[in-house]
Amino acid sequence: MAFLTKDKIFSRKWIIDYLFILSGSLILAAGFVYFVTPHRIVPGGVYGIAIVVHYMTQGMFSFWPDGIPIGLFGLILNIPLTIAGIRILGPRFGIKTIVGFVLTSVFIDSITYLRPDGNTPLVNDVLLSCVFGGVLIGFGLGLIFKSRATSGGSDIIAMIIAKYTRLQLGKLMIYVDSTIVLLGLLAFRDWHIPLYSWVVIYITGRAIDMTLEGADYNKALLIISKKHLQIKNKLLVDLERGGTYLRGEGMFTGEEKQIIYTVVSRREVAILEEYISKIDPDAFITVMDTKEILGEGFQSLNSKLDS
């Protein structure tokens, strides 16, 4: 069974995908080099292992006095993991994934080599480095994921374990990354390392979500009111928003109710709440956060898939 879709070479979509991989790999590498690596933070993944190996091998090799390069060691780990993943899991890992981790490794070592101060942190504040490092790494990974590639590395280990166990993939990925974080604790014998590392992992996850889903400022509302016609008019005429009527029935009274489902901006929520409070103080309103809205009046599904 094939898991990969083939894009026409040099098509608009193909170019956009590889631009995402190129820029994502560069941003990801910058997050490691400038913020994460200098503080010996180990945020899981193959590059977390590579950071441990880098510092543990300082002075061991005359041609690598600062330790085995992080990008190179990450590449050494990624290649057999990807081969094992293809053999065990099937063709899930295409050329985009390979290009992604090769570029990331090259960028990490190139930026490190070109820096005049080597592994000196850009800022000395560790927590600030965790925040900005996590944001850059998450944003870079998010761009790579947008191209329908995967990050490879420890994700493949989790997928292989999931194949032979009944454990959920999401939990396994957390377990694998946490094990790598604890490896940093054993190597550096500093409790600050795993604590800061988990901060980076959390921020990275949030940054990935925002990159993939966007920072949506809209709210979804469910409104139950006897004055639904006036509320409908307010939405259509004043706010120029649409909505949908849902039919409901009161559980206690058995009375048939008209429920309005609509999506408005944060500012419009306040306007709508003030209006409803005046015409029907007994109205029932549920306000929900939205991560992503696709459809008429918002981003179309086709434009998202093409981006």
Comparing 211 with 214, the larger pLDDT belongs to 211
* DSSP for 156-188, written as a single string: HHHHHHHHHSS--HHHHHHHHHHHHHHHHHHHH
Examine the pLDDT at 217 and tell me if it is beyond 80: no
Domain coordinates of the chain in residue numbers?
12-213, 218-306
Average pLDDT score over residue span 8-15: 80
Chain mean pLDDT for the chain: 86
Q: Span 218-306: which CATH code?
A: 3.30.70.120
> What is residue 21's predicted lDDT score, i.e. its pLDDT?
92
> What is residue 2's predicted lDDT score, i.e. its pLDDT?
41
- Is-contact 85 160, C-beta < 8 A? yes
Summarize pLDDT for 140-191 with one digit per residue, the tens.
998 988 887 776 677 788 878 888 887 776 678 788 888 999 999 999 999 9
**Which run of H or E residues covers position 77?**
helix 70-89
Summarize pLDDT for 38-76 with one digit per residue, the tens.
999 999 889 999 999 999 999 898 889 889 999 999 999
Examine the pLDDT at 103 and tell me if it is beyond 80: yes
> What is residue 1's predicted lDDT score, i.e. its pLDDT?
35
Examine the pLDDT at 301 and tell me if it is beyond 60: no
Amino acid at 117: D
> What is residue 19's predicted lDDT score, i.e. its pLDDT?
93
